[in-house]
A and B are shown apart, each in its own frame.
Chain A
Amino acid sequence: MNLVFKALSDPTRRQVLELLRKGPMSAGALAERFDVSKPTMSAHFAALRKAGLIVSERQGKSIVYELQLSVLEDALLSFARMFGWKLQDDRRGGSKPARREVEDQ
Chain B
Amino acid sequence: MTWHTRSMNLPPSALFGFLGAGLVAAVAAMTSRVGVIETDVANRIIGLALGLMIVLIGNSLPKLRPFNRTRGNTRPATVERFSGWLLVLAGIAWVVLFALAPLDQAKRIAALIGSGALTIVAVSWIWVAVRAYFVRSGEREVTSTVAERTAKWQLTASLLFAFFYVFVVACLKFLVSQAQFANELSIWMLTAFWVLYAVLYALGRGKGRR
Q: Do A and B come together as binding partners? A: yes
A71-B84, A71-B85 known; A23 vs B74 contact (CB < 8 Å): yes
Set B3, B6, B61: member contacting A71, Cβ < 8 A: B61
Closest Cβ–Cβ distance, residue A74 to chain B (whole Å): 7
- Known contacts A22-B74, A24-B71; 6 further A-B pairs (Cβ under 8 A): A49-B4, A56-B5, A57-B2, A57-B144, A71-B58, A72-B59
Q: Number of residues in B with C-beta < 8 Å to the partner?
A: 27
Query: CB-CB < 8 A to B7: which residues of A?
Result: 55, 68
Closest Cβ–Cβ distance, residue B67 to chain A (whole Å): 13
Q: With an 8 A cutoff between CB atoms, is B108 at the interface?
A: no
Query: CB-CB < 8 A to A21: which residues of B?
Result: 74
Q: With an 8 A cutoff between CB atoms, is A47 at the interface?
A: no
Given the complex of chains A and B, what is the CA–CA distance between A62 and B3 in angstroms? 13
Closest Cβ–Cβ distance, residue A88 to chain B (whole Å): 24
- Contact indicator B58/A67 (Cβ below 8 Å): no
Q: Which of A24, A64, A69 has the most CB of B within 10 A?
A: A24
Given the complex of chains A and B, what is the CA–CA distance between A64 and B82 in angstroms? 24
Interface residue ranges, A against B (CB under 8 Å):
21-24, 49, 52, 54-59, 64, 66-72, 74
Closest Cβ–Cβ distance, residue B190 to chain A (whole Å): 30
For the A-B complex, the count of residue pairs with Cβ-Cβ distances under 8 Å equals: 64
Given the complex of chains A and B, what is the CA–CA distance between A54 and B91 in angstroms? 26
Query: CB-CB < 8 A to B74: which residues of A?
Result: 21-23
16 contacts between A and B (CB under 8 A): A23-B72, A23-B74, A23-B77, A52-B6, A55-B5, A55-B7, A56-B4, A57-B2, A59-B1, A68-B63, A68-B65, A69-B63, A70-B63, A71-B59, A71-B61, A74-B62
Given the complex of chains A and B, what is the CA–CA distance between A77 and B88 in angstroms? 16
Given the complex of chains A and B, what is the CA–CA distance between A100 and B101 in angstroms? 50
Interface of chain B residues 38 through 77 with chain A (CB within 8 A): 58-63, 65, 69, 71-74, 77
Q: Which of B5, B61, B62 has the most CB of A within 10 A?
A: B5
Given the complex of chains A and B, what is the CA–CA distance between A71 and B62 in angstroms? 7
- Contact indicator B62/A68 (Cβ below 8 Å): yes
Set A22, A54, A59, A70: member contacting B59, Cβ < 8 A: A70
Closest Cβ–Cβ distance, residue A42 to chain B (whole Å): 13
Closest Cβ–Cβ distance, residue B144 to chain A (whole Å): 7
Q: Which of B2, B11, B74, B144 has the most CB of A within 10 A?
A: B74
- Contact indicator A74/B144 (Cβ below 8 Å): no
- Contact indicator A66/B69 (Cβ below 8 Å): yes
- Contact indicator A66/B85 (Cβ below 8 Å): no
- Contact indicator A52/B5 (Cβ below 8 Å): yes
- Contact indicator B1/A58 (Cβ below 8 Å): yes
Query: CB-CB < 8 A to B2: which residues of A?
Result: 57-58
Query: CB-CB < 8 A to B123: which residues of A?
Result: none
